[in-house]
Structure formats: C-alpha cells, structure tokens
C-alpha cells in the first residue's frame, strides 16, 4: 500500500462524518482493473440517494395519495410543506426560520428574486449587474428581467462588482461558487459593497448550500435562491428554494403572484393580496412528490454540523490535489480551482486537453466526475459520503488513465 493510501486509511478512521456515509445508496460500479467499488465525485451535479428515501416516497404515493387522497393536504401536511421544508434548509445556509420557501425551479426563483430586487430598489435605479461568469441560465433570466423592468444589464466579474456599482444600480446577481472552476466568491464583502451603493444583493447558492457555511442572516443578504439536488441530495429535478430576508418580506413584490401566495388562497378573489412573510414567494400548487422526497432526504443532516462538512471538504480537496500532483505526469493537467481555502468551494476543476475522452475512461473505471466543454474535468466532493480512500483512488486512476495504463 502506498504512503498516500495509508494516509487516506488513517484519515477515514478519524473522520467524524464517516458514519454518515451509511445513510446513502452509493455507486457500486467496479473498477474493471482492480475490482474496487466505484467512486462518486459528481454530487455537485446530482447528489447520491439517501437510503431511506424510497420507503418514504412509497408511503407518500401508496398511503398519503393512494388512501388519504385529498385529505393529505391537511392530514399529511402537504399544504404547509413549502415553508416547513424551507425551515429545514434554513440552518444549512445560515438563516432563521420563516425566510425560505421551497418550490419551483432555480430558474423560476432567480426570476422572482431579480425582478423583486429591482422593485425593492425603487425609482431612479435602472441597472442590473450580473455575474459575467455565471451559469448560463442565470444570465438568460437576468437579460429577460432587465427587459421586463426597463433596466440596463451589465455583465461584470464578481471581482469587478465594487468598481461597477453606482447610484443607478438596482440589483446584483452573483453566484456564491463558480460552477466551472469551483471558485468561492466573497459573499460578505460583496454584499456589503452592494448595500453601500444602495442596491439589492441576490445570491445563487446552488454550488455552496450543503457544502459550506453561507451565513445569509449574518451577512445581511437580501434575496437568495438555490437548488436542492446537488449537495442537499433531494433527487433529480427536486424543487428549488427562495430566501427573502425577514425585514424585506412585507416589501417583496413577486413578479409571479399566484393563488398559493394569496393572503386568502381559498377565497378565490379576482384581486391579488399577497400573503405575509416568505409565503408570498409561492406561486402555484406545490409539486408534492418531489418536495416530500426532498424532505425525507434532508434527514441525513441530523446531527451533522455544516462547519464539520466544510472542514472535511477542504481536507478532501487538499488531499486530492496532493494525490494528483503525485500520480500525474507534471504539466498533464492544470488546476483551475483556487488553492486558497477562502476562495475554494467543494469541487476541483482540472483543465486537460483531452478531457472528454479522459472522463469517459474514468467512468468506465468506476470514477464518476463530469466533463465541461471544452477541456474541463470537474470533481465534486460531498463530505457526507466521500472519503479519503475514495479521493486517493480517484487520483490514482486518473493518473493511470492519462498515462494510458
């Protein structure tokens, strides 16, 4: 056994989160060469399945829907699920209860938040700044929101935001972690700069929630959105969420008012009156099956501290980079992810000339990451179920693949 493999074994034995791994159904694809269990490093795209979720979903389908039917809106708590599940996500992003509502997709929630942010900013502010490196959909939504609100859209890098802010800036939409490189942006400092300019801060937490502390309340974030199928393990297409800071809730004017966000949803009034609190972020009927699967998935966080998750994430990514340096020929890959802990999310992105073919061969060997056009290998590290032996093996197999072994 190599020195790195021995270190991985010792680190796994000392890992306070090691037992959480048993709460998941993990990839059993074998390494055809070594016969080892697979390594899943794509939780930053789709989290692994919590082992107890299928049974909970079966109960929702067979009993709550099949037997109770319409009674489940009250008796099974379907109607209050968006706020109840939002309150369970809240501690993972540093928010008090009553500020997060679950439902709709990330894209729909970005639209609600960004248009709502412009309306919060008020008259005289007709400019939206958007992260120039953002996930494409955020940019598309921002462009549409700018047209709808009569604003000018200015793409800027997160680092360029402080200099780009002005007295015309209404809202700024930023990603907490860059989806390609894994770079972690400075949410506290950027939020403070946005507020100093009199603008509204909107953060996309898709690649940070469940992987590291966010501190929405602590840092005074105005609005935030995020998905739940990555580090929160809610399942494919699981509903996203919208955070509205408590002090802004009575002022938040959603561009998508629906009967579910009405103050009297069953009054069927022809005129709209928004509900108080985060409920006004709802639109239509909740997507109950996927929402309750998400609620079940969140049980894996019982007894887990997000600070411990962050500490393990940094240790895993540090160790992966060390193993890559040891196992790969010099210059074969370039790391796009910052080395500094304060600038790193929970993924490592490596630039590799033949990245698409390399990833295909890695997956054939049981190491699952993903490929981003044109030349990026992405590896996501989910501390709840990824261990140090997984990391060592993934880097070793990567070395064998790029070396043609």
Mean per-residue pLDDT of the chain: 96
Query: Can 312 be counted among the known catalytic residues?
Result: no
Set 40, 229, 320, 327: catalytic member: 229
Q: How confident is the model at residue 386 (pLDDT cuts 50, 70, 90)?
A: very high
Set 21, 112, 312, 378: catalytic member: 378
Set 24, 111, 135, 381: catalytic member: 135
Q: What is the pLDDT of residue 11?
A: 98
Task: Compute CA 317 distance to the chain's CA centroid, rounded to the nearest angstrom.
Answer: 18
Q: What is the pLDDT of residue 403?
A: 84
CATH fold of the domain at 3-49+304-402: 3.90.1150
Say whether pLDDT at 34 is over 90.
no
What residue spans in the chain does CATH classification 3.90.1150.10 cover?
Answer: 3-49+304-402
Q: How many other C-beta atoms lie within 10 A of the C-beta of residue 219?
A: 17
CA distance between the termini of the chain: 19
CA distance 159 to 145: 23
Q: Specify the DSSP element, H or E, that contains 39.
A: strand 39-40
Query: Can 351 be counted among the known catalytic residues?
Result: no
Q: What is the pLDDT of residue 242?
A: 98
H helical segments located in 254-287: none
More confident residue, 30 or 404: 404
Burial of 265 (0-12, 13-18, 19+ CB in 10 A): middle
H helical segments located in 100-135: 106-121
Mean pLDDT for 362-391 is 97
Mean pLDDT for 354-375 is 96
In CATH, the architecture of 80-285 is 3-Layer(aba) Sandwich (3.40)
CA distance 331 to 86: 45
- Interstrand relation of 376-380 and 347-351 (parallel, antiparallel or unpaired): antiparallel
pLDDT, tens digit, 9 for 90 and up, residues 82-105:
999 999 999 999 999 999 999 999
Set 230, 245, 280, 396: catalytic member: 230
- The pTM (predicted TM-score) of the whole model is 0.96
Query: Can 42 be counted among the known catalytic residues?
Result: no
What residue spans in the chain does CATH classification 3.40.640.10 cover?
Answer: 80-285
Set 87, 204, 222, 390: catalytic member: 204
Mean pLDDT for 249-277 is 97
pLDDT, tens digit, 9 for 90 and up, residues 223-244:
999 999 999 999 999 999 999 9
- DSSP states of 192-234 as a string? HHHHHTT-EEEEE-TTTTTTS---TTTTT--EEEE-SSSTT--
Mean pLDDT for 134-146 is 96
Query: Can 230 be counted among the known catalytic residues?
Result: yes
Query: Can 135 be counted among the known catalytic residues?
Result: yes
Say whether pLDDT at 1 is over 80.
no
């Amino acid at each position: 056994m190599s020195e790195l493999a021995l270190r991985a074994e010792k680190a796994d034995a000392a890992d306070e989160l090691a037992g959480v791994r048993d709460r998941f159904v993990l990839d059993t694809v074998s390494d055809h060469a070594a016969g080892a269990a697979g390594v899943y490093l794509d939780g930053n795209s789709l989290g692994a399945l919590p082992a107890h979720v299928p049974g909970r979903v079966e109960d929702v389908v067979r009993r709550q829907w099949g037997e109770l039917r319409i009674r489940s809106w009250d008796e099974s708590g379907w109607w209050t699920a968006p706020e109840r599940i939002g309150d369970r996500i809240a501690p993972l992003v540093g928010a008090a209860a009553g500020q997060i509502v679950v439902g709709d997709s990330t894209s729909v929630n970005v639209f609600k938040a960004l248009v709502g942010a412009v309306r919060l900013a008020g008259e005289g502010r007709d400019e939206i700044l958007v992260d120039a490196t953002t996930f494409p959909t955020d940019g598309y939504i921002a462009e549409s929101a700018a047209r709808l609100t009569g604003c000018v859209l200015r793409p800027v890098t997160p680092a360029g935001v402080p200099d780009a802010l002005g007295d015309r800036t209404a809202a700024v939409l930023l990603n907490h972690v860059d989806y390609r490189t894994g770079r972690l942006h400075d949410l506290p400092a950027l939020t403070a700069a946005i507020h100093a300019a009199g603008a509204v801060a909107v953060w996309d937490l898709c690649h940070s929630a469940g992987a590291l502390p966010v501190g929405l309340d602590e840092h005074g974030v105005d609005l935030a959105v995020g998905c739940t199928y990555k580090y929160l393990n809610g399942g494919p297409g699981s509903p996203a969420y919208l955070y509205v800071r408590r002090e802004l809730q009575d002022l938040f004017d959603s561009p998508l008012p629906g009967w579910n966000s009405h103050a009297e949803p069953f009054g069927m009034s022809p005129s709209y009156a928004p509900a108080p609190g985060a409920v006004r972020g709802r639109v239509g009927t909740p997507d109950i099956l996927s929402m309750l699967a998400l609620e079940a998935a969140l049980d894996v966080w019982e007894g887990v501290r997000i600070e411990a998750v962050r500490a393990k994430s940094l240790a895993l990514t540090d160790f992966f980079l060390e193993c890559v340096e040891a196992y790969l020929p010099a210059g074969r890959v370039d790391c796009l992810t910052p080395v500094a802990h304060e600038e790193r999310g929970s993924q490592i992105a490596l630039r590799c000339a033949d990245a698409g073919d390399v990833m295909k061969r890695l997956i054939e060997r049981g190491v699952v990451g993903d490929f981003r056009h044109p030349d990026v290998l992405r590896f996501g590290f989910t501390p709840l179920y990824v261990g140090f032996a997984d990391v060592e093996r993934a880097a070793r197999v990567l070395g064998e693949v790029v070396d043609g072994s």
